[in-house]
Structure 1
Amino acid sequence: MTSCKTWKFEQTHFGKRALASILLLASFTSYANNANDASHPLISPFSCLLEPSSEVELSSEVQGVIKELRVNRGDKVKKGQVVMKLNSTVEIAAVNTVKARLDFASRKVERNADLYRKSLISDNEQDEMLTEQRLAEFQLKEAKVRLSQRQTRSPISGVVIERIKDPGEFVDEEPFLRIATLNPIHAEVVLPAELYGKISKGQQVNLSALGKDATYQGKVSIIDPIIDAASNTFAVTVSLNNDSQSLFVGQRCDVEFISGS
């Protein structure tokens, strides 16, 4: 399993580097064609790629066998939504046992309260009953925590992009689900080093996506603080509203940085 995961990572890493080179070549060509055009009101168009604004791989806090996996690939999820439950027969029984112990201890304290007021039982006996009650309360909290660990909630709102496990399978620290946020959506752009300092965070951007007639507005959200010496480039992330879900991860796109914004 480890070797397969390593192979997948290397394939993905290589693919991203190759795609970045293609985007950079296209960007340089476009930039060179427009560099001497004084009438052009924008910093020349650059090629980009649409990516999720965030992506997480979910794993379980504890080991166990999946009882329910409530989502499939393509399903939308909300932050805090329960997406997976493990078999929890033992943990439910533990909660019920401690509840019964707490109920008994509480009834015992209540029954003997009047006797204590009349000094018919000692302070030591009263203290023992109250201590039993408090210990049962703590044990119930612990049992409920252990039970809550048998389910996993989504830490973000987004879309399921991969379901790795199915009900009946064993899970541990390995991921069982991948979720990505598609609104907002990000455009990743590779720029020549000569533009470093000319692009600012919050700068307005016009984006056109492959196969789309519309122009979308976005803002620069991240500027890499380091220039890559090998390629003499730096990367910029553009954030765009995607309420309409008309933009898709993996789409090729072009961006123009609006000067003076």
Structure 2
Amino acid sequence: MKTWSMGTLGALASLAALAPHAASAGPFECLIEPNQTVEIRSAVEGVIEKVTVQRGDRIKAGQVLVQLESGAEISAVQLAKAHADAQGRLASAQNRLEYAQKKLDRMTNLQTQNFVSAQQRDEAEAEKRILDAELKQAREDKEQAAFEQRHAQDLLNRRTLRSPFNGVVLDRMLNPGDLAEAGTGRKAILKVVQVEPLRVEVVLPLAAWGKLKLHSTADIVPEGLGGRYTAKVTVIDSVFDTASGTFGVRLELPNGEAKVPAGIRCRVDFPELRSLATPASYTRGSFAK
């Protein structure tokens, strides 16, 4: 079940106060909201080097929004890459093992002809086993170096904060030179909102229950803008507000060209509810609680 923010509930309550309590079920008041609101914080502590956006800027998914100072981390990546790319020890171990294998083959052949003793042949075999172990260790060291390179790169990547979606910068709280502190309880750097798609919230009377279906469509008329837009039902609450006899419905409103702003009132017309008779006592005031 979806949850209602206090701001949404209060706004819907104020909208309800404007609605007549007649038996007619005309278009219902609704609110158009961002699909998501996200506060951009850093997963690691550091001094902010650059903030690339301002309040009101449009942003794209993956766009760099904030860069922390990263000199030490860049050096660590370069050092780890040098270790991971180093081939000298591994190549040397491979060459020595190949030579030891050839030596063992010769000793085995000579020992069968009694030209060398069994002890000499055993010594060659022992040397080959030692070099086998050295080659294995060299390979493990190279894998460890590759892991350390990935780890260093991950730490560096954490100092670059990117947009999680296409949207708009709602607020900018920190600037270059400020300390970005890690953790959800710390001050955010930016607040961004997703406006494609938008979310439409509406509360309906109990009499409307069972008459709407998921993925059905409705017409949305934004207040003050005019025009009609088609939205799709994505959530129908199954728990009712006892005091008001209402339940919540959420719709998804496509907004690819950002023609409709978020945070405005609207009216929604459900074709399935046009003939609905609602009680004159129907109110939505309890949603403000």
Q: TM-score, normalised by structure 1?
A: 0.82
Which residue in 2 is equivalent to 1:183?
196
Amino acid at match of 1:82: V
**Counterpart in the other structure of 2:172:** 163
Question: Structure 1 pair 99/212, CA: closer, same or farther in 2 (3 Å)?
Answer: closer
Alignment TM-score, normalising by the size of structure 2: 0.74
Runs of 4+ in 1 over 4 A off after TM superposition: none
Q: Secondary structure of the residue that 2:54 maps to in structure 1?
A: coil
Q: Which residue does 2:74 correspond to in 1?
A: 92
Whole-angstrom CA distance in 2 between matches of 1:32 and 1:252? 21
The two structures, once aligned, show a CA RMSD in angstroms of 2.3
User: Shift of residue 112 of structure 1?
Assistant: 4.4
Q: How does 1:1-261 map to 2 (within 5 A)?
A: 13=6, 15-27=7-19, 29=20, 32=22, 35=24, 44-104=26-86, 106-119=87-100, 122-171=131-180, 172-173=182-183, 174=186, 175-259=188-272
Report 1 or 2 for greater relative contact order, CA contacts < 8 Å, sequence distance ≥ 6: 2
1:110 counterpart letter in structure 2: A
Residue deviations 1:168-192 (CA, integer Å, cap 9, x gap) = 1111223221111112212211222
- Cα pair 1:24 1:190 within 8 Å, conserved: no
Aligned to 2:285: none
- Structure 1's unaligned 5+ residue stretches are 1-11, 36-42
Paired residues in the alignment total 238
How far off its partner does 1:218 sit?
1.7
Shift in alpha-carbon separation, 1:98–1:242, aligned structure 2, 3 A: closer
Q: Could you tell me how far 1:260 is from its partner in structure 2?
A: 8.1
Once the two structures are superposed, residues 203-227 of structure 1 have per-residue CA deviations (whole angstroms, 9 ceiling, x without a partner) of: 2211212222322222222112211
CA spacing shift, 1:128–1:213, aligned 2, 3 Å: closer
Percent of paired sites with the same residue: 32
d(CA) in 2 for partners of 1:129 and 1:244? 56
Higher percent of residues as strand: 1
State the alpha-carbon separation in 2 of the partners of residues 206 and 67 from structure 1. 46
State the alpha-carbon separation in 2 of the partners of residues 32 and 229 from structure 1: 20
SS across alignment from 2:26: strand
In structure 2, the gaps of 5 or more residues are: 104-126, 275-289
What is the alpha-carbon distance in structure 1 between the residues aligned to residue 207 and residue 91 of structure 2?
79
Q: 2:44 is paired with a residue of what secondary structure?
A: coil
